[in-house]
Structure 1
Amino acid sequence: MTRRPRILVFDSGLGGLTVFAQIVRLRPDADFVYCADDAGFPYGSWKEADLVRRVVGVMETLIARHAPDIVVIACNTASTLVLPVLRDHWPRLPFVGTVPAIKPAAEHSRSHLISVLGTPGTVARDYTQNLISQFAAHCRVTLVGSATLARIAESQMQGQGVCDEDIAAEIAPCFQEVGGARTDAVVLACTHYPLLVEDFRRLAPWPVDWIDPAPAIARRADQVLRDCGFDAPVAGRGEARAVFTSGKRPEGSLRATLARYGLAGG
Structure 2
Amino acid sequence: MFDSGVGGLTIWQHIRALAPDLECHYLFDNALFPYGELPQPILNQRVLSLLLKLLETVAADAIVIACNTASTSVLNDIRLHVDIPVIGVVPAIKPAAALSQTKHIALLATPATVTRQYTDQLAADFAPDCRITRLGVSELVHLAEHYLLTGRLDEQTLAQLLKPISEQPDIDTVVLGCTHFPLVASPIASVLTSVRLVDSGYAVAQQVMRKLARSADEPLFERVEGVYYATKTLPNEEDFNQAVATFGLKKGRVLNLPL
User: What TM-score, normalized by structure 2, do the two folds share?
Assistant: 0.92
Kindly provide the CA deviation profile for residues 51-78 of structure 1, in whole angstroms up to 9, marking residues without a partner as x.
1111111011111121200001100000
Question: Does the residue aligned with 2:27 lie in a helix, a strand or coil?
Answer: strand
Are residue 253 (structure 1) and residue 239 (structure 2) matched? yes
Deviations 1:67-118 (A, max 9, x none): 200001100000000001000111x211000000000000011111100000
Aligned counterparts of 2:50 and 2:185: Cα–Cα separation in 1: 29
1:168-222 Cα shifts (integer Å, max 9, x gaps): 1112212354xxx611100000000000111101122x32110011010000001
Structure 2 unmatched ranges of 5 or more: 253-259
- CA–CA separation in structure 2 for the residues paired with 1:240 and 1:230: 22
Alignment of 1:207-218 (within 5 A): 207-218=194-205
Letter in 1 for 2:171: T
Deviation above 6 Å: which 4+ runs of structure 1? none
1:63 corresponds in structure 2 to 55
Q: Is the 8 A contact 1:119 1:147 kept in 2?
A: yes
SS of equivalent to 1:114: strand
Contact 1:120 1:147 in 2 (8 A): yes
Aligned mate of 2:182, from 194, 209, 214: 194
The number of aligned residues is 252
Which stretch shifts more, 158-167 or 54-63? Answer: 158-167
Q: Secondary structure at the match of 1:199?
A: helix
Q: Which residue of the partner structure matches residue 4 of structure 1?
A: none
RMSD of aligned residue pairs (Cα, Å): 2.0
- The separation in 2 between residues aligned to 1:207 and 1:160, in whole angstroms, is 24
Amino acid at match of 2:25: V
| 1:231–1:70 Cα change, 3 Å | farther
Contact 2:108/2:137 (CA < 8 Å) preserved in 1?
A: yes
Whether the aligned pair in 2 keeps the contact of 1:176 and 1:183 (CA below 8 Å) is no
Q: Provide the C-alpha distance between the structure 2 equivalents of 1:102 and 1:209, rounded to a whole number of angstroms.
A: 13
Unpaired runs of 5+ residues, structure 1, are: 1-8
CA distance in 2 between partners of 1:236 and 1:198 (Å): 30
Q: Distance in 1 between matches of 2:235 and 2:54?
A: 17
Q: In the alignment, residue 35 of structure 2 is paired with which amino acid?
A: Y
Q: Which of 129, 132, 141 is the matching residue for 2:123? A: 132
| Percent sequence identity over aligned pairs | 37
Confirm or deny that 1:241 pairs with 2:236: no
Give 3-state SS (helix, strand or coil) of 1:210's partner. strand
In the alignment, structure 1 residue 174 sits paired with structure 2 residue 165:
yes
Match of 1:3 in 2: none
What is the TM-score with the length of structure 1 in the denominator?
A: 0.89
Amino acid at match of 2:38: W
